[in-house]
Structure 1
Amino acid sequence: MTTFDDRKDAFEKKHAHDEELAFKAVARRNKLLGLWVAEQIGLTGEAADAYAKDVVAADFEEAGDADVIRKVQADLKAKNVEVSDHRLAAKLAELLDVAKKQLSA
């Protein structure tokens, strides 16, 4: 193997690793969001954990965060809890930072 091939392989491995970490961070963020929303709508214990899993699963419906936001907004409205899209977006950003820190620890 040449030095170029070694560098190419190393770059590809790093890219795959970075993508895996990003996926895990978003999944963890969604779980944390689910737990936060569960608290807002009065769920605790196993019900809150199950709800958080549903939020994580909602992210697999389409690319991006729109599906997650749509799900939690519908659930919040069903329980007459008002949370703006802006506040949800801010919470997503905050929880992504938390998730990344948890994964790096």
Structure 2
Amino acid sequence: MSTFDDRERGFERKFALDQEQEFTASVRRNRALGQWAAGLMGLQGGHVDEYAQAVVKSDFELPGDEDVLRKVFEDLKGSGVTITEGEVRMKMAELLAQAREGVRKGD
């Protein structure tokens, strides 16, 4: 086995770990986003967790974050919450940074 093969396997393991951590951070972000939006819509108790789970599931519809953004933004508007798409995007970015930090720390 050569040093090149070892390096290649190391890069592959690092890539797989990075992808797994990014997926975990994305799921955490979506759950937190759902909880945040549920609070804005006045949901309480088990309805908060149900809505957060629905937001997590919405991420599996299309690649990328647009499906999550669309769901949360439309649900907020439909509930009478005055908010812009940009504000939801900013909250998504904020929560993703927090989720990545939590994953990095092993929380």
Matched, 1:91 2:91: yes
- The runs of 5 or more residues in structure 1 that have no matched partner are none
Aligned to 2:77: 77
Q: Quote the Cα distance in structure 2 between the aligned partners of 1:102 and 1:43.
A: 26
Aligned to 1:37: 37
Amino acid at match of 1:37: A
Give 1:45 shift: 2.2
Percent identity of paired positions between Structure 1 and Structure 2: 47
TM-score by length of 2: 0.94
Q: Quote the Cα distance in structure 1 between the aligned partners of 2:32 and 2:40.
A: 13
- The runs of 5 or more residues in structure 2 that have no matched partner are none
Pairing of 1:1-105 with structure 2 (within 5 A): 1-105=1-105
Aligned residues: 105
Q: Quote the Cα distance in structure 1 between the aligned partners of 2:66 and 2:12.
A: 30
Q: What secondary structure does 2:5 align onto?
A: helix
Q: Which consecutive aligned stretches of 4+ in structure 1 deviate over 2 angstroms post-superposition?
A: none
Q: Quote the Cα distance in structure 2 between the aligned partners of 1:50 and 1:90.
A: 23
